[in-house]
């Protein structure tokens, strides 16, 4: 690739903005255009995320992406914007396990530690001593990355990435991509809803929950769809100052937020359709599913006062709940950065850097994300990520 090539990134969320910034870091000198349909980000997955980062994944490449993401978040002022404050809180992900998942969790723990993740196992005695507020019914053990997992301010990170990209000469256009032009086996341009056409030597699909629609412009089906996830903000008579992020045996999650907590739980599959433009919170989910589970696990949560509720979209990869990163095998200048199924924000730095490296130098130099290539989908080889909440 020449360093003067036109690069168009469809999607101006955190992955799109960081991809543009990493392209400059990698030495690309040509035009970089980010197409974002709504610069207010009112319904963007980045802005509506619970914004957490963890090292506890089942697939090694995801652990590596999280490790890189954590190092990036810790240095965000030096790397992106000296004035940014993403409020990184490192208190760990306390993920509970019962007898049925014990062997698999210990295998995953060994893999995570081998890759450099400082995750530890806590038995019931250790859990009882550390977390007096926690009920251990059905719990055999738990794992936690005490100082290497936590949460942060997604909006502040997104704005820092956007400002950093703009300072490096990236153009951000508020419009919607409605088509792709091709010549032979290459993308040559992007058509916008306002009638403009942008020439493209490379096109990156970082459209998040809408990336399936973008791929359809090329008749390339990808199993990425928008799935709605509701977040509940509430107060309870419990001191949250030292609490980690908690993942229950049921998959329900809870973490401190301000003077209260936020939490959520995945709906049953039958009640989890493709959401598209549906951002109406599932209010019944709190009373019917989440509150009973949390009150049983944390008895102090029997008394809660709901403060706020919102819903965002996961870019859910129905094939194996893993990201899709890298060029299409036949249309080589069409590059994927999507399908992260709820862990896109924490993996955005690693994914964006990988895409930039592939475009500029033709190889992955920091993290080998080849296992996340599109080919596994085309060939029917799922690499399932089971740690999705």
Q: What is the pLDDT of residues 120-159, one digit of tens each?
A: 999 999 999 999 999 999 999 999 998 899 999 999 999 9
Tell me the pLDDT band of 81, cut-offs 50, 70 and 90. Answer: confident
Q: What pLDDT is stored for residue 264 in this prediction?
A: 97
Q: What is the CA radius of gyration of the chain?
A: 21
210 Cβ neighbours under 8 A, 6+ residues apart: 11, 226
Tell me the pLDDT band of 282, cut-offs 50, 70 and 90. Answer: very high
Tell me the pLDDT band of 221, cut-offs 50, 70 and 90. Answer: very high
Q: What pLDDT is stored for residue 148 in this prediction?
A: 93
Q: Please provide the CATH number assigned to the domain covering 88-149+229-312.
A: 3.30.9.10
Q: What pLDDT is stored for residue 258 in this prediction?
A: 87
Which regions of the chain carry the CATH code 3.30.9.10? 88-149+229-312
Q: What pLDDT is stored for residue 259 in this prediction?
A: 85
Query: Alpha-carbon distance 81 to 224, whole Å?
Result: 32
Average pLDDT, the chain: 96
Query: Alpha-carbon distance 207 to 192, whole Å?
Result: 14
pLDDT in tens, 107-120: 999 999 999 999 99
Q: What pLDDT is stored for residue 23 in this prediction?
A: 98
What are the tokens at 63? 């652990």
61-72 burial: b if 16+ Cβ within 10 Å, else e: bbbbbbbbbbeb
Q: What pLDDT is stored for residue 368 in this prediction?
A: 98
Strand order in the sheet with 197-199: 177-183, 186-192, 197-199
Q: Which helix (H) or strand (E) holds 376?
A: helix 375-378
Residue 242, pLDDT above cutoff 90: no
Residue 82, pLDDT above cutoff 90: no
Fold of 7-68+154-223+319-378: FAD/NAD(P)-binding domain (3.50.50)
Which regions of the chain carry the CATH code 3.50.50.60? 7-68+154-223+319-378
For residues 218-247, average pLDDT: 95
Residue 1, pLDDT above cutoff 80: no
16 Cβ neighbours under 8 A, 6+ residues apart: 9, 10, 34, 36, 204, 206, 337
Q: What pLDDT is stored for residue 3 in this prediction?
A: 72
Token pair 């290459």 in the structure block, residue: 186
% of the chain exceeding 70 in pLDDT: 99
């Amino acid at each position: 690739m020449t360093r003067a090539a036109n690069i168009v990134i469809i999607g101006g969320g955190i992955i799109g903005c960081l991809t543009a910034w990493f392209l400059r870091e990698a030495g690309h000198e040509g035009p970089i255009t980010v197409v974002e349909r709504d610069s207010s980000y009112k319904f963007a997955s980045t802005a509506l995320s619970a914004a957490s980062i963890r090292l506890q994944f089942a697939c090694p490449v995801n652990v590596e992406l999280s490790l890189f993401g954590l190092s990036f978040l810790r240095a965000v002022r030096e790397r992106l914007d000296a004035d940014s404050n993403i409020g990184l809180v490192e208190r760990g992900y306390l993920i509970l396990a019962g007898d049925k998942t014990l062997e698999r969790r210990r295998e995953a723990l060994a893999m995570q530690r081998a890759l450099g993740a400082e995750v530890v196992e806590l038995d019931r005695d250790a859990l009882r001593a550390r977390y007096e507020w926690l009920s251990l019914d059905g719990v055999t053990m738990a794992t936690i990355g005490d100082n290497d997992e936590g949460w942060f301010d997604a909006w502040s990170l997104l704005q820092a990435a956007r400002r950093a990209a703009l300072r490096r000469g990236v153009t951000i256009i508020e419009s919607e991509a409605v088509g792709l032009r091709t010549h032979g086996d290459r993308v040559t341009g992007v058509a916008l809803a306002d009638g403009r056409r942008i020439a493209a030597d490379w096109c990156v699909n970082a459209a998040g929950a809408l990336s399936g629609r973008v791929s359809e412009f090329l008749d390339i089906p990808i199993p990425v769809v928008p799935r709605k996830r509701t977040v509940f903000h509430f107060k309870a008579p419990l001191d949250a100052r030292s609490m980690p992020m908690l993942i229950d045996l049921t998959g329900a999650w809870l973490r401190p937020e301000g003077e209260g907590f936020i939490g959520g739980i995945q709906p049953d599959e039958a009640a989890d359709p493709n959401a598209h433009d549906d951002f109406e919170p599932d209010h019944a989910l709190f009373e019917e599913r989440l509150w009973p589970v949390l009150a049983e696990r944390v008895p102090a949560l029997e008394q809660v006062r709901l403060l706020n509720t919102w819903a965002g979209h996961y870019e859910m990869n129905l094939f194996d709940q893993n990201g899709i990163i890298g060029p299409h095998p036949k249309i080589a200048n069409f590059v994927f950065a999507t399908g992260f199924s709820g862990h896109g924000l924490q993996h955005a730095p690693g994914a964006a850097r990988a895409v930039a490296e592939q475009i500029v130098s033709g190889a992955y130099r920091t993290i080998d994300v080849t296992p996340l290539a599109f080919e596994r989908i085309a060939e029917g080889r799922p690499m399932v990520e089971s740690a999705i909440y």
